[in-house]
Amino acid sequence: MPLEAECISPDRLRGKTAAEVAAEMVFHGNRQVPLGEFFQIDGQADDGEIVVEGDCSRVKWMGAEMTAGRILIDGHAGMHLGSEMRGGVIEVLGDAGDWVGAEMRGGRIHVRGRAGHLVGAAYRGSRRGMRGGVILIEGAVGNEIGASMRRGLIAVGGDCGDFPGVSFVAGSIFLFGSVGWRPAAEMKRGTLALFGPCPPLLPSFRWACDYRPVFIDLYLRQLRAWGFQPAQQDFPGHFRRYCGDLVSLGKGEILHWTGGSASGRANLP
């Protein structure tokens, strides 16, 4: 039975004693119970730092709507981690569930392991997904990451499922592993950069040119500064640029790192 613990957030716990934190109510299924029934709590949270230890893969909503501070999760995290967060840092040493950083507006989430589906996505019915901030996933992710994303950066080190960046409005997604079907389908604007193998693209993406965008190096440098392991290697040479999605506005791009030079005409997919 999952636990809904949006109270595990620096904003909510700041200024509270361990006993007060233990008395915070969380939903366990459809019943409200104190947080202390599930966690042993010590220390105080005035510095805005929270460390969560243990397997929390069924603990949902940690860090939701947080605006500042830091949460370190030494273990797995459940669904909706950092949902709608506006600032601060969440670090997960294990895996995270679905909806990591859904509709987030600022701050940074760094997951050392894998994450589920719909990372940085729009909730059902919403017009916009992630609107700012950074989500770094070192392992694999599921489908529809960055769905309807509007701004910000998602970087994924491992393999990625289908439809990354579906209905992309703007922003950046960097994928360093393999990629499933139909990346960036219905994208309006934005950048989907592929550093691993390029899957078959939709016919509504057109090859534009081969070149070395300047911003790629700035982004890679920043990713390295954040300690994002997959970006440690060099990616020299050119990227193949495809425009799309032409069934939509068509002002987006898929960049695929080929490492080649720009001379000569590229082979169309």
Partner 1 sequence: MLLRIANGTVYDPINGIDGEVRDIWILEGKVVAGPPTDASGQPLAPDKTIDCTGMVVMPGGVDMHAHIAGPKVNLARKMRPEDKRKARVVKRTPITRSGTTGSVPSTFATGYLYAGLGYTTAFDAAIPPLSARHAHEEFHDTPIIDKGFFVLFGNNHYVLKQIQAKEPERLRAFVAWLLSAAKGYAVKLVNPGGVEVWKEGGDNVHGLDEPVEFFGCTPRQIITGLAQAVQDLGLPHPVHIHCNNLGLPGNWVTTLGTMQALEGRRAHLTHIQFHSYAGGSDDQDTFRSRVPEVADYVNSHPNITVDVGQVLFGETTSMTGDGPLGYYLHKVTGRKWTNADTEMEAGCGIVPITYRDKSFVHALQWAIGLEWYLLVQDPWRVAMSTDHPNGGSFLAYPEIVQLLMDRTYRQEVLKRVHPRVLERSVLKDLDREYSLYEIAIITRAAPARMLGLPHKGHLGVGADGDVTVYTPNPDRRAMFELPRYVIKAGRLIVEQGEIRAEEYGRTLCVTPEYDAGALPDIQKWFEAHYTIQFANYPVDESYLSHGATIVPCRVDDRSSRRKMAGES
User: Which residues are near partner 1 by CB under 8 A?
Assistant: 123-127
CB of 122 to partner 1, least distance (A): 8
CB of 190 to partner 1, least distance (A): 18
Identify the CA nearest to 105 among candidates 150, 71, 146: 150
CB of 253 to partner 1, least distance (A): 22
Distance of CA 10 to the CA centre of its chain: 20
Q: How many angstroms separate the CA atoms of 28 and 121, rounded?
A: 25
- Which residue lies nearer to partner 1 by CB, 189 or 212? 189
User: Which residues 6+ apart lie within 8 Å of 101 measured at CB?
Assistant: 81, 82, 83, 85, 109, 119, 120, 130, 133, 135
Q: How many angstroms separate the CA atoms of 15 and 145, rounded?
A: 35
Distance of CA 112 to the CA centre of its chain: 12
| Dihedral of alpha carbons 94, 79, 68, 127, sign | positive
SS3 10: helix
- Which residue lies nearer to partner 1 by CB, 188 or 238? 188
CB of 125 to partner 1, least distance (A): 4
CB of 209 to partner 1, least distance (A): 30
User: Which residues 6+ apart lie within 8 Å of 44 measured at CB?
Assistant: 16, 17, 18
- Which residue lies nearer to partner 1 by CB, 125 or 264? 125
Question: Helices in the chain by DSSP H: which ranges?
Answer: 10-13, 18-22, 214-225
Contact 71, 87 (CB under 8 A): no
CB of 169 to partner 1, least distance (A): 12
CB of 65 to partner 1, least distance (A): 11
| Dihedral of alpha carbons 99, 122, 149, 177, sign | positive
